[in-house]
Amino acid sequence: MSRKSKIILIVGSVIFCLDRLTKILVARDMAPGESLRVIRGFFNITLVHNTGAAFGIMAYAPEGLRLPFLLVSAVAAVLLLLYFAGKTDGNETLTLVALAMVIGGAAGNIADRITLGYVIDFIDWHAGDFYHWPAFNIADSGITVGVFMLGYEFLVRKKTG
């Protein structure tokens, strides 16, 4: 197995497995909408069944349209990312790790959509009553961090390197 394949497999699997494990634990012990305060005024664990995409986009679209669209879009994105990973030089570690994080996160949310019809979100950040970020999960975190890493790689490092 090539170095490139190992990076994609290991990093993607870690994100996927952490996402699945945390979702199982939260869903096992909490009811939808139930919240556990971790840091008052800042962080809760709140079980949310997200039927939409990021930030609940398409949550109210008919399920017969929403679920197939979101599944096909996510699978197409993973296949495209795998294609880019295949075209990436094996020495571009940051790019490979970033792609793997996005792939692992997307796979975690795809698994939810296939098995449940929705995505389990539970990380609930807020700034007192001033601002409340939409709930998210480890998969979303992997996707977000991976996208920022790719942005850094392509917008900053490529200019200076």
The Cα–Cα gap between 96 and 150 comes to 9
Q: pLDDT digit string (tens) for 20-49?
A: 999 999 999 999 999 999 999 999 999 999
Name the pTM for this structure: 0.90
Q: What is the CA radius of gyration of the chain?
A: 17
pLDDT in tens, 53-107: 776 677 778 878 888 999 999 999 999 999 999 999 999 999 999 999 999 999 9
84/88 Cα distance (integer angstroms): 6
Catalytic residues: 121, 140
Distance CA 135, CA 154 (A): 29
Of 80, 96, 79, the C-alpha closest to 88 is: 96
DSSP β-bridge partners for residue 123: 45, 136
Write down the pLDDT at residue 55.
64
